[in-house]
């Protein structure tokens, strides 16, 4: 099968991860255990996930000229990712994420210093416009400036390229952006925030977003799988439950990267969600964002069990 060309426009961070017995409350100091430095950032996670699962990935992002940036750039090359549009910014550091992980549940709390990610701009997207127009799928998130995301989505939409938007970190979005989205991949909280209906169910939120122009909404539900809502109706796609949940940090990013590959390969959306559920389920059994991302053979094995 030909590798689908996936373009990811987004963020790259260095993750500084500490596992602890519980996440601290405000003002509380918690003694942690395992410490890990790992490659992360929502855009980078999605790019690496897609590359490991069979995509030919082009990544559009900004890194600092510091040692974190050097390590990230070399890492992307080692994953087979096209780094022609990876910009080294001398005026801002590489993004950093401070991540606490609860040892008992795998849940996390994250603080991000955006650094060079906040300087990814419309001109950077314009420089990569030929790659976007020739892609099978464009993937974006919201750790980059909204004008930059909008420019990338407009470029893809004008060329008939499907757009996957992972709307995280969540923020209200105008209808003109939502109307460019082929598949939206929020979790339950993000779906409710985007829909502007506090306490709404995933189904209610998804239908509200369809009414604002989104073509398909896939609400991720953790181990319970995902809810797919589109013009054909509503389908719950079952997930996979593992007892040994270690770290959920990159699960949503893994899901989105996997979804992009399956869609790029020409699969229907229901199969693509099943494929993405399996990839995300494997990722939560490992510590760290990109270290947790599975290879294609692992996902295929889980799907066909």
3-state secondary structure the chain: CCCCEEEEECCCEEEEEEEECCCCCCCCCCCEEEEEEEEECHHHHHHHHHHHCCCEEEEEEEEECCHHHHHHHHHHHHCCCECCCEEEECCCCCEEEEEEEECCCCCEEEEEECHHHHHCCHHHHHHCHHHHHCCCEEEECCCCCHHHHHHHHHHHHHCCCCEEECCCCCCCCCHHHHCCCCEECCEHHHHHHHHCCCCCCHHHHHHHHHHCCCCEEEEECHHHCEEEEECCEEEEECCCCCCCCCCCCCHHHHHHHHHHHHHHCCCCHHHHHHHHHHHHHHHCCCCCCHHHCCCHHHHHHHHCC
Residue 253 bears catalytic tag: yes
* Active-site hit among 15, 66, 89, 253: 253
Catalytically annotated residues: 253
């Amino acid at each position: 099968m030909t590798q689908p060309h996936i373009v990811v426009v987004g963020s790259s961070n260095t993750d500084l991860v500490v596992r602890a017995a519980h996440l601290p409350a405000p003002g509380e100091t918690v003694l942690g255990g395992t410490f890990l430095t790992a490659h992360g950032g929502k855009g980078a996670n999605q790019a690496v996930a897609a590359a490991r699962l069979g995509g030919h990935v082009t990544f559009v992002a900004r890194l600092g000229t510091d040692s974190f940036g050097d390590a990230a750039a070399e890492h992307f090359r080692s994953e087979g990712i096209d780094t022609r549009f990876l910009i080294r910014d001398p005026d801002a550091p590489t993004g950093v994420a401070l991540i606490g992980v609860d040892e008992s549940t795998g849940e996390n709390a994250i603080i991000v210093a955006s650094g060079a990610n906040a300087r990814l701009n419309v001109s950077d997207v314009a420089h990569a416009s030929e790659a976007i127009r020739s892609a099978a799928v464009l993937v974006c998130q919201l750790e980059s400036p909204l004008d930059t995301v909008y420019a990338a989505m407009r470029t893809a939409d004008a060329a008939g390229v499907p757009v996957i938007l992972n709307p995280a970190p969540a923020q209200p979005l105008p209808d003109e952006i939502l109307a460019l989205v082929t598949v939206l991949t929020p979790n339950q909280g993000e779906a409710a925030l985007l829909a502007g209906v506090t306490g709404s169910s995933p189904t209610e939120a998804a239908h509200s977003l369809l009414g604002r122009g989104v073509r398909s909404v896939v609400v991720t539900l953790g181990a319970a799988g995902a809810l797919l809502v589109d013009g054909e109706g509503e389908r719950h796609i079952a997930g996979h439950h593992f007892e040994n949940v270690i770290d959920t940090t990159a699960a949503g990013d893994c899901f989105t990267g996997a979804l992009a590959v399956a869609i790029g390969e020409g699969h229907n959306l229901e199969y693509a969600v099943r494929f993405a559920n399996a990839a995300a389920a494997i990722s939560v059994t490992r510590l760290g964002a990109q270290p947790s991302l599975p290879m294609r053979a692992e996902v295929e094995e889980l799907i066909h069990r």
